Chains A and B, each alone.
Chain A
């Protein structure tokens, strides 16, 4: 009876240890994936948009007829960007990047306000691209090697639209 109990304890301990180890690896892997994804966000300046208050027009100062479009776009667009690391090894990672479908949006309109309006709407068209990236890990930090494929994936088909425009 005692031997049986001992066996049960041993099996239980082994099970717990396995759970802890696999849990650690799972957590560590998830954390690495997050860190890698964060590096992509950071390197491509995808979290830089800041709220600019639309102040009442100053009566004095430099008169500049200009919008905050780039800043507004970056802020709204970044909220919609989803980068997921699906697979990785020591040098390479597979990314799944979901972003607004800029090709369709630009086809619809090139106007600043309309672009922002569509991106902010619930029906904003999205597109998912799966790409491979190379990276290095130095001092615990990931350095992603940027290439055109990655940038085009992040900007959801803008390149295709401009190519059609002869650019």
Chain B
């Protein structure tokens, strides 16, 4: 019996050992290719798999997600930066990852003295997600601009530069906030007659490139919606020489045939008709959605239903069909009626062209009606535009005070819910949009390059928010649309065999690139120019202040046989001779391209490191590259972060290479 028990135990133990060894075999280091959706670029990362669970080195994860990584008091800390400013902090300690109120358990493993952390869900805490594309590629969604960066940008702009009134940006923050508070209160006292103009200003957008074309199209559309009466077209023939305004004339002719009688026509009425027509045409769906989610949303506490601006916005947005991006005809007629223009079939005969010319002599010299009357804002004098500035200021101030409430909430709880982030982003868009609309109005009144530049600058901020959309900003919440490991496949790519060893000498790094290799994403223009741009996000940027990064790419015509051979010559080259790339020859055997960049080029933590132009180099001649990277500083100032940076940069460049 004892023998049987011993035998059984032995078999069991052996079985256990075998199982353990199988598990050990399941541990594997893989080089994985990931497609970065927002950068439209392939990235490679090294993952360590244990029991099918992917692990990653913290610094590698930081580079992948554009975070900065540090070890602080036994904690792994990931920080999101905006320039030099930290905007978000995530920590990992004792197997727990934490971001505000969000927490998860994370496994860590040590392999050959290197710490690896579980890739998922850690990556979700760093504003990034992994998904599979329909064609089987592993896709990285890593926010180009994160929610924490947006919040910090807005927080700065609220009292330092975002205000319409520039003088308010120069007040101390206490007075600046009080100025916003006071002006925000004035919003409800805005006279009704001005709110209609503000409403249209907020809802429209001028597409500068297509403005004339769009206006003509609008006029044709409008003619077909308002009237089927084409009798006026014949009289247009009298003025075919006035080709600029033929279409606009046709439309207004159609409309005027419907006005009670021609005696009612005057300059004033034509002007109002042209304004309404242009305003309707330039209604912009994104602005309409934005208004509905902010100014017309009672939960935002910006306008009340009794405010005249609320009523005007509601009237226009209710009459707008978002699918066709046009006003409903009834709503359009309502707007004309509000302006005292009624369309009743005219029984007194056609309005002929000469009638129009009599009313508007300018038409006789070839100006179009739109040129004569086209004034989207309806602002007619300087005094009015100054008064209207108050309305824009009041609205923007009220929004600023509401945004500040979100900031208080962020400070209280550290994080916002998904829904709150969406609301916040809408409100931010409206905050900047009010300024865009203001400069648009002002530039229409008094065209000035300064106003136009400001208009375009803030329009770009809006477009940036529209481009990123809410989904990018909600990546801030780790459990929103989180990465599902069960759906992922990690395609292994062939390891690049670096033909020579990686060396660290002093505070520089040198690395041989693969033999017979070429930079993978080179651009070939007309078959003669090859160039490649390395876009590399620089970590530890604060450590590199006042230092110089030197990158030397050496290309030899024959197999390289010794690292030290020409190195001293390279090092001694005059660094000030070039700031953007230089090609030089060293004897008959070797030539090199040297790129030297000062710190300033690395502002915002991201820049193009090097543009290497292989002009005049025949691809087939490239045999070996030798890459040398260094940071100019005395050795005592160099720390492990610097070395890590150089190493990462070198590998980044090396990864860009594939075998010929």
Interface string of A48-67 (1 = CB under 8 A from B): 00001101001111111111
**B98 interface hit (Cβ, 8 Å):** yes
For B171, what are the chain A residues with a Cβ–Cβ distance below 8 Å? 110, 165
**B322 interface hit (Cβ, 8 Å):** no
Of B89, B180, B182, B476, the residue contacting A151 (CB under 8 A) is B182
Assembly CA distance A61 to B86 (angstroms): 11
**B172 interface hit (Cβ, 8 Å):** yes
**B165 interface hit (Cβ, 8 Å):** yes
Assembly CA distance A64 to B411 (angstroms): 7
Assembly CA distance A70 to B410 (angstroms): 15
Residue on B nearest A154 in the bound complex, by CB: B185
Assembly CA distance A151 to B88 (angstroms): 39
Given the known inter-chain contacts A64-B411, A66-B411, please indicate yes or no for A73 contacting B181, CB distance below 8 A: yes
Query: A122-150: which have CB < 8 Å to B?
Result: 143, 146-148, 150
Of B90, B168, B181, the residue contacting A70 (CB under 8 A) is B181
Question: How many residues in B have their beta carbons less than 8 Å from beta carbons of A?
Answer: 46
Residue in A53, A106, A109 with the greatest tally of chain B CB atoms within 10 Å: A106
For A1, what are the chain B residues with a Cβ–Cβ distance below 8 Å? none
Query: B173-217: which have CB < 8 Å to A?
Result: 173-182, 185-186, 188-189
**B255 interface hit (Cβ, 8 Å):** no
A62 & B174 in contact (Cβ 8 Å cutoff): no
Assembly CA distance A115 to B411 (angstroms): 22
Given the known inter-chain contacts A73-B178, A73-B181, A110-B175, please indicate yes or no for A60 contacting B98, CB distance below 8 A: yes
Of B186, B408, B415, the residue contacting A62 (CB under 8 A) is B415
**B412 interface hit (Cβ, 8 Å):** yes
Assembly CA distance A110 to B168 (angstroms): 12
Q: Name which of A20-28, A88-96, A155-163 contacts chain B.
A: A155-163
Query: A35-51: which have CB < 8 Å to B?
Result: 43-44
For A64, what are the chain B residues with a Cβ–Cβ distance below 8 Å? 151-152, 155, 407, 410-411
A70 & B89 in contact (Cβ 8 Å cutoff): no
Of A53, A106, A143, A155, the residue contacting B175 (CB under 8 A) is A106
**B282 interface hit (Cβ, 8 Å):** no
Assembly CA distance A165 to B176 (angstroms): 11
Assembly CA distance A121 to B190 (angstroms): 35
A162 & B177 in contact (Cβ 8 Å cutoff): no
**A34 interface hit (Cβ, 8 Å):** no
Given the known inter-chain contacts A62-B151, A110-B172, A143-B306, please indicate yes or no for A70 contacting B88, CB distance below 8 A: no
For residue B631, give the distance in angstroms from its CB to the closest CB of chain A: 28
Of A55, A68, A162, the residue contacting B179 (CB under 8 A) is A162
Of A43, A59, A67, A158, the residue contacting B91 (CB under 8 A) is A59
Given the known inter-chain contacts A44-B185, A64-B152, please indicate yes or no for A114 contacting B174, CB distance below 8 A: yes
For A111, what are the chain B residues with a Cβ–Cβ distance below 8 Å? 172, 174
For residue A53, give the distance in angstroms from its CB to the closest CB of chain B: 7
B167 & A167 in contact (Cβ 8 Å cutoff): yes
Of B100, B155, B405, B407, the residue contacting A61 (CB under 8 A) is B100
For residue A152, give the distance in angstroms from its CB to the closest CB of chain B: 8
Question: How many residues in A have their beta carbons less than 8 Å from beta carbons of B?
Answer: 45
Assembly CA distance A73 to B98 (angstroms): 33
B174 & A63 in contact (Cβ 8 Å cutoff): no
Assembly CA distance A110 to B176 (angstroms): 8
Of A68, A70, A102, the residue contacting B411 (CB under 8 A) is A68
Query: B602-630: which have CB < 8 Å to A?
Result: none
Assembly CA distance A111 to B159 (angstroms): 13
Interface string of B134-177 (1 = CB under 8 A from A): 00000000000001100110010000000001011001111111
Interface string of B465-480 (1 = CB under 8 A from A): 0000000000010000
**A69 interface hit (Cβ, 8 Å):** yes
A70 & B148 in contact (Cβ 8 Å cutoff): no
For residue B188, give the distance in angstroms from its CB to the closest CB of chain A: 5
Given the known inter-chain contacts A61-B100, A63-B86, A155-B182, please indicate yes or no for A148 contacting B189, CB distance below 8 A: yes
A61 & B89 in contact (Cβ 8 Å cutoff): yes
Residue on A nearest B86 in the bound complex, by CB: A63
For B88, what are the chain A residues with a Cβ–Cβ distance below 8 Å? 61-63
Residues on B facing A (Cβ under 8 Å): 85-91, 98-100, 147-148, 151-152, 155, 165, 167-168, 171-182, 185-186, 188-189, 306, 401, 404-405, 407-408, 410-412, 414-415, 476
15 A-B pairs in the complex with CB atoms less than 8 angstroms apart: A44-B185, A52-B411, A55-B412, A59-B98, A61-B88, A61-B89, A61-B100, A61-B414, A63-B89, A66-B411, A69-B177, A74-B181, A112-B174, A112-B177, A167-B167
Excluding A62-B415, A63-B87, A159-B182, 15 further A-B contacts by CB distance (< 8 Å) are A52-B411, A59-B89, A60-B91, A60-B99, A69-B177, A70-B180, A73-B178, A112-B174, A114-B174, A115-B174, A147-B189, A151-B182, A154-B185, A162-B182, A167-B168
Residues on A facing B (Cβ under 8 Å): 43-44, 52-53, 55, 58-71, 73-74, 102, 106, 109-115, 143, 146-148, 150-151, 154-155, 158-159, 161-162, 165-167
Closest 7 CB pairs of A and B: A61-B414, A110-B172, A110-B175, A112-B174, A61-B100, A62-B148, A146-B189
